[in-house]
């Protein structure tokens, strides 16, 4: 089973969210997601300053197998993006929850965090997510 850190929140579409406090969160894709995708070759990130709606597509990850949209787990304004990924998308493969982070958001509604999955619920979802 892939790695699902207990201190993070998750979405069914395989993004993770780390609450950094002060209404700021960091977002990436899960270890399970990178495992399914295989070796990543391109990453397209949102623009700093862009305003995202929860559930909207905001980034793209492309692997040797497939291109896949990344959805904003919560709504907010993009504060910072991980530009290192553009030249080294494989960082997501090697360190999905660390150096492989994708962007930081300033939350527009902190209440949306409550709707995300906990580690246990996500692990179960990932295990059963055949389709």
The site for other proteins (CB under 8 A) is made up of 36, 38-39, 41-42, 62, 64-68, 90, 130-131
> Which is closer to other proteins, CB of 16 or CB of 71?
71
Integer Cα distance of 85 and 119 in angstroms: 25
Nearest-approach distance from CB 15 to other proteins, in angstroms? 17
Closest by Cα among 105, 119, 106, 109 to 30: 119
Nearest-approach distance from CB 91 to other proteins, in angstroms? 13
Nearest-approach distance from CB 129 to other proteins, in angstroms? 8
The answer for residues whose C-beta is within 8 angstroms of residue 24's C-beta and 6 or more apart is 79, 104, 105, 106, 107
Is residue 119 within 8 A of residue 17, CB to CB? The reply is no
> Which is closer to other proteins, CB of 38 or CB of 98?
38
> Which is closer to other proteins, CB of 9 or CB of 32?
32
> Which is closer to other proteins, CB of 1 or CB of 7?
1
Integer Cα distance of 95 and 65 in angstroms: 19
Nearest-approach distance from CB 52 to other proteins, in angstroms? 17
- CA-to-CA dists, residue 74 to 17, 35, 128, angstroms: 9, 23, 24
């Amino acid at each position: 089973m892939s790695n699902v850190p207990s201190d993070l929140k998750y979405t069914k579409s395989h993004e993770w969210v780390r609450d950094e406090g002060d209404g700021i969160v960091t977002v990436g894709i899960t270890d399970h997601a990178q495992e399914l995708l295989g070796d990543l070759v391109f990453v397209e990130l949102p623009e700093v300053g862009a305003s995202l709606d929860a559930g909207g597509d905001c980034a793209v990850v492309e692997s040797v197998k497939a291109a896949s949209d990344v959805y904003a787990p919560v709504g907010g304004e993009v504060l910072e993006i991980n530009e290192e990924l553009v030249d080294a998308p494989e960082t997501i493969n090697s360190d999905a929850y660390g150096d492989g982070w994708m962007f930081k958001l300033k939350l527009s509604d902190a209440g949306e965090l409550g709707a995300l999955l906990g580690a246990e619920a996500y692990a179960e979802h990932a295990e059963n997510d055949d389709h």
